[in-house]
Structure 1
């Protein structure tokens, strides 16, 4: 079974997929005003909703920052979002990091798109990165993932593991990015067993309503799906997903994690026996890859695609109980081969 075992594997893969690479010319004139320089400071990340400690998306980014810090021995910064913040707040945050001399500066999440576009133009000698969105700019690397591919594998696993022939999907916010998770998952389920019913549910219509940051909402949604006989629930809901996992464990049904290997997350240890697997998205590998490219004076720019071929996405196999589900391992391996060969085309909506 293909899984993301290290951040470096994805870093190597994304480097081979780089659409453009330009030489870094040092820091911007504004950053010189602060007394900082690229030689003094390293990578900085600005977190998405949920912040550090979500055991998922943001924590994956932090793992990449930590790897870069340990390997290159430079300073780093990671900055939390604020509740109800505006694009102007995000712009100020990114500008402050660039002005201090951090390079690269990475916005973790599509919500940083408008701010990134504005700030990158003001600091042309700083490399910027954005996760889950495409921003045009000569000094911007857009770090995007084939979430639908990992979700397809999660769907295959769910179809093999269900005993009730009913599985659930909980999305944090009803937006195109999360639609990719749902589309891949549902396709994986149906391709594996057309008789299995999928119950999809979104927690909120907008991120401001707490879809990615409310474990109580995730727990309530999962409890509702369990009442409808779902015995495997895949969540793509950020911090809210912790509530899904808690509800699944309480009911002794399977949960499927997302982004990070949630079976290994310390905060989720009380529930790990019921985390069947996780659809992995190597945000940490992307953060590390961009950091290394800047360190090597060959910063990545343009759109960088992390897919199954470069281990940018995958499915974890940390829970030994996976191997006890009849046919699951072989079915996932067959699906991986089909996706990477192109014989399986995974939908994104």
Structure 2
């Protein structure tokens, strides 16, 4: 009896140990599934798209925060470490992060790296005489194009985390619907700007897609990259345009110093043309995290409303905020 009792006791102990091990393995597997993806994005606009589509299934980090200029950004050691640890790295492409392009092309050989801006068909992109073989990268300025980027982010997330496909598909559809509402708002208010006043003059040439989509002539003091120099001759040419066409408002940008815009204003005033700053536009970066302007929809709503009102059009002072609450 003693031997049988001992044998049964050992068998029960072994059964409990095995069961505990199995339960622990299942728990670890469930924890692994439940653990959010680690996603790193270069720009705040791409990061917002990833947050909207991924929801709780991903922790998303933007390398470039409010007021940061992606044209001149240099990666830090902590950036490299963050990308090395990431499950998915999303960058823009189209030569926006020009100084990082070689780095990302090398990184994608070893890590899960996707250039989401490259999803736009080339015939929908704007070229530029100063950058042969390259395209204007500021595609987020036209929400119609940005929808394609959202879908590219969705597809990258699905490939990285197939089990979350239903979530990613549903969230992307919801966000695209919000973007469509934004497009309708933009169409409705920008058409109220008098035709002769549809001249958008800013610090650098970041708004050409907005201009093409909503029928504005766009002029930038600098080229499509803030790394380009604004020469005295360019400033003089723009002063001539301001005076000849009686332009009353120019715009500064949150990620570009104001000095060139101030030079324009001073030059115009010296020739008797009063010019005001129509406001600060978000060009290459969104607003502060946690604010409406810190979302893609809030950023574009802010720009559209500000431009419309400053150039003599009719738009609500609060834009479309409240009609469409951000989801992040």
TM > 0.5? no
Q: Which has the higher strand share?
A: 1
- The higher-RCO structure (CA 8 Å, 6+ apart) is 1
TM-score by length of 2: 0.40
Decide which structure has greater helix share. Answer: 2
Greater C-alpha Rg: 2
